[in-house]
Amino acid sequence: MSDLFDGVLAAGPVRELVADAAWLQAMLDFEAALARAQAEVGVVPAEHAEAIAAQCRAEHYSAADVGARAAGIGNPAGPLVRALTARVGGAAAGHVHQGATSQDVVDTAAVLVTRAAVGALLADLGACGDLLARLAAEHAETPQAGRTLLQQALPVTFGFTAAGWLSGLDAAAARLRALGPRFAVQYGGAAGTLAALGERGPAVLAALARRLDLAEPVLPWHTERGRVGEVAGALAAVCGAVAKVAGDVVLLAQTEVAEVAEHGPEGSGGSSTLPHKRNPVAAVAASAAAAQAPGLVATLLAAAAHEHQRAAGSWHAEWRPLTGLLRATGSAVWWLRTCLERLRVDPARMRANLDLTGGLLLAERVTAALVAEGVGRLDAHDAVTACCRRTAGGGGPLVDVLAGDPLVGAHLDRGRLAGLLDPATGTGNARVFVERVLAAREAEK
């Protein structure tokens, strides 16, 4: 079902992977795998299992109808099982959903839907990583103003900035990959003991897990929701990493900064009013999608306390926020990929911004050089600070003010001062850290 805001807040492949049809198919995949697992163990005749599996196709059912009928039992599994049983008919119909409870169906479907969405997320994150790795390598020595508390601090390089973005995204992707072993089937029956199947219950559980390529839990996790919390935390980490990159891009693309820009197709980034506008719309959309994560995560974590063997409400409270979190994260990552594909870097503007303060960013290096020449640290600090204040007050470029200072000029000539104040020579170990991030990424491949 389409929504007015989906173009912005539900963009990318994850949207369809968590849509109603995907959930419906995942629930039916559980039922088909359950029937075949029971046939494998000898609980159900093989021909009956195949008759059940043949009807486990989402196109045979209406998600809207199943959803409407869900109110009667409190979840969508009940009406779906009834509809499936009616389609199967005959003797095989008596074996549909055997030994299972509604939560087994929905929880396993949630795992299958989440696994598919995570696969798409990792693909988009990988593409973002490749784009950032290229930017980091290309601009490893492109000077850029480092900014702390939104003010210019010391020079960095744009490659160092991109490497920081890359490191955060790669770490978030690693958390997603780590979820794999935690994607477990759910099959416990009414109270989690598989009592309806007797001693063959554990064997069916094992066969079901194999058929769905999911982990077999030590015991059913109906009321132990740590797995859901881990998914929520990993998705939140992705959104946080995306928000960091997108937020920086928006700031760097401001008219007064203009160090990067998005160059999208004709019409992208425009305004309904201002003809001159070229907004970084992909970065903005990534930020908007990622901003939804904290509230959705909070709901999932708040619903984690499930009483006794089956919860009254807490389980139900998970469905929408989990779907919404997957969709929002998918949109955030897809928009970030789009942003990075469109991104253009302006090294000349970066250098011009570095020169705005007349060398103030590198005044600390002059202090260090004076100390190396034998000047006391406090005397050097006070002299350079006074020169910085004169420059900030309109007294001229810092190199000239420093050269004219009695203490500074007596130890450092103008040529030496100019070298110390050159942003290109003041980026510290930026290249080293860029290379470390790129090497770490290669090692993970």
pLDDT category at 259 given cuts 50, 70, 90 is very high
- Output the DSSP codes for 112-165: HHHHHHHHHHHHHHHHHHHHHHHHHHHTTT-EEEEEETTEEEEEEEHHHHHHHH
**Across 12-21, average pLDDT:** 97
Distance CA 171, CA 245 (A): 14
DSSP code of residue 224: B
pLDDT category at 433 given cuts 50, 70, 90 is very high
Q: What is the pLDDT of residue 268?
A: 61
Q: What is the pLDDT of residue 270?
A: 52
Considering the chain, what percentage of its residues have pLDDT values greater than 90? 91
Which pTM does this prediction carry? 0.93
Model confidence at 134: pLDDT above 50: yes
Distance CA 219, CA 191 (A): 11
Distance CA 381, CA 366 (A): 9
Distance CA 66, CA 20 (A): 10
Q: What is the pLDDT of residue 275?
A: 47
User: Which structure tokens are listed for 78?
Assistant: 């009940």
Model confidence at 234: pLDDT above 90: yes
Model confidence at 419: pLDDT above 80: yes
57, 200, 310, 390: which one is catalytic? 310
Q: Is 344 a catalytic residue?
A: no
Q: What is the pLDDT of residue 277?
A: 58
Q: What is the pLDDT of residue 265?
A: 73
**Across 374-382, average pLDDT:** 97
Q: What is the pLDDT of residue 357?
A: 86
Q: What is the pLDDT of residue 64?
A: 95
Instruction: List the Cα angle 93/94/99 in 5-degree steps.
Output: 120
271, 320, 389, 414: which one is catalytic? 271
Q: What is the pLDDT of residue 2?
A: 60
Q: What is the pLDDT of residue 264?
A: 72
Q: What is the pLDDT of residues 260-281, one digit of tens each?
A: 999 877 656 554 554 455 789 9
Q: What is the pLDDT of residue 51?
A: 98
DSSP-assigned beta bridge partners for residue 157: 143
Considering the chain, what percentage of its residues have pLDDT values greater than 70? 97
Q: What is the pLDDT of residue 269?
A: 53
Burial class (CB in 10 A: 0-12, 13-18, 19+), 138: middle
Secondary structure class of 343 (helix, strand, coil) = strand
Q: Is 271 a catalytic residue?
A: yes
